[in-house]
């Protein structure tokens, strides 16, 4: 199993550009989520999904969109990048929540100029 | 949602036990206590979780207070590879029980 994979590893955008961060998992997990981590801080939940076709907002959803058309993929779209979105983005998946272990991807380091 | 409080940093000597404390005084009866760690430049990694009883696995032990308002992660013999930020986490009940990370404890291990 590859686990949770994320692409790209690094990305530089200009203010106002849009892009999609990719996340895929091959563990048949129902639950997937996106977090961002700013320097020296813990992770904050952006959006999450409890199954294909179902998404919901986390703590910091503004400026981001998600969709979940398949169990395996959960892309995160930045609509119009801003310098405040400079961060490291982590995708995670799990069988369920509450008591389930979450598996994290390696992260995407995004810089917005 | 319930919050956790951890010391910002701790130091340990290699091959000695480490006790990482966490306070969660507003925990609810259905909240699991999770511990994750994050090595430099990596995503978080699951360590252990529990509800009421103490838990052991190959990585660590989790001691949960009887009133569940605090817990302690125990690394039995710290190695240099255990140097990381350790997060004590409760779930976000209004967000599908996803995790909410605080600042964590940065563990430094001295040879």
Q: Which residues of A touch B91 (CB under 8 A)?
A: 97-98
Higher pLDDT, A96 or B95: A96
C-alpha–C-alpha distance, residues A12 and A14, integer Å? 7
pLDDT at A1 over 80: no
Determine which helix (DSSP H) or strand (DSSP E) holds A92, and give its type and residue range: strand A87-94
Output the pLDDT for position B94: 60
Asked if the Cβ–Cβ distance from A98 to B44 is below 8 Å, we say: no
Contact B49/B106 with Cβ under 8 angstroms?
no
Can the peptide bond before residue B37 be classed as cis, meaning omega within 30 degrees of 0?
A: no
Q: Would you place residue B95 in the very low, low, confident or very high pLDDT band (cuts 50, 70, 90)? A: low
Residues of B in contact with A10 (CB under 8 A): none
Residue B101: predicted pLDDT: 83
Q: Residues of chain A with pLDDT > 70: what percent?
A: 97
Whether the per-residue pLDDT at B32 is higher than 80: the answer is yes
Alpha-carbon span B55 to B47, nearest angstrom: 11
Which stretch of A64-73, A103-112, B87-96 has the lowest confidence by average pLDDT? B87-96
CA distance B90 to chain A (A): 9
Spell out which residues of chain A touch residue B49, defining contact as CB-CB under 8 Å: 99, 101
Output the CA angle A91-A94-A96, nearest 5 degrees: 135
- What was the pLDDT predicted at B96? 65
- Asked if A98's CB is within 8 angstroms of B97's CB, the reply is yes
Q: Over pLDDT 90: what percentage of chain A? A: 86
Q: What is the pLDDT of residue A101?
A: 87
CB B93 within 8 Å of CB B29: no
């Amino acid at each position: 199993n590859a686990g949770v994979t994320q692409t790209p590893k690094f990305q530089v955008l200009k203010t106002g550009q849009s892009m999609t961060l990719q996340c895929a998992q091959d563990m048949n997990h129902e639950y997937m989520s996106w977090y961002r981590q700013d320097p020296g801080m813990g992770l904050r939940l952006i959006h999450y999904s409890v199954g294909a076709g179902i998404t919901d907002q986390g703590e910091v959803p503004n400026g981001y969109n998600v969709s979940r058309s398949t169990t395996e993929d959960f892309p995160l779209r930045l609509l119009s990048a801003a310098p405040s979105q400079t961060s490291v983005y982590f995708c995670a998946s799990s069988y369920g929540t509450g008591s389930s272990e979450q598996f994290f991807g390696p992260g995407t380091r995004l810089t917005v100029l | 949602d319930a919050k956790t409080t951890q010391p910002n940093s701790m130091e340990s000597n290699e091959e000695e036990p480490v006790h990482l404390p966490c306070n969660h005084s507003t925990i609810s009866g259905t909240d699991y206590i999770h511990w994750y760690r994050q090595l430099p430049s990596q995503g978080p990694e699951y360590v252990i979780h529990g509800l009421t009883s103490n838990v052991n696995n190959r990585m660590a032990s989790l001691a949960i207070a009887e009133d569940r308002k605090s817990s302690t992660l125990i690394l039995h013999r710290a190695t240099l590879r255990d140097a990381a930020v350790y997060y004590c986490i409760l779930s976000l009940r209004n967000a599908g029980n996803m995790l909410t990370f605080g600042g964590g404890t940065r563990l430094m291990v001295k040879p």
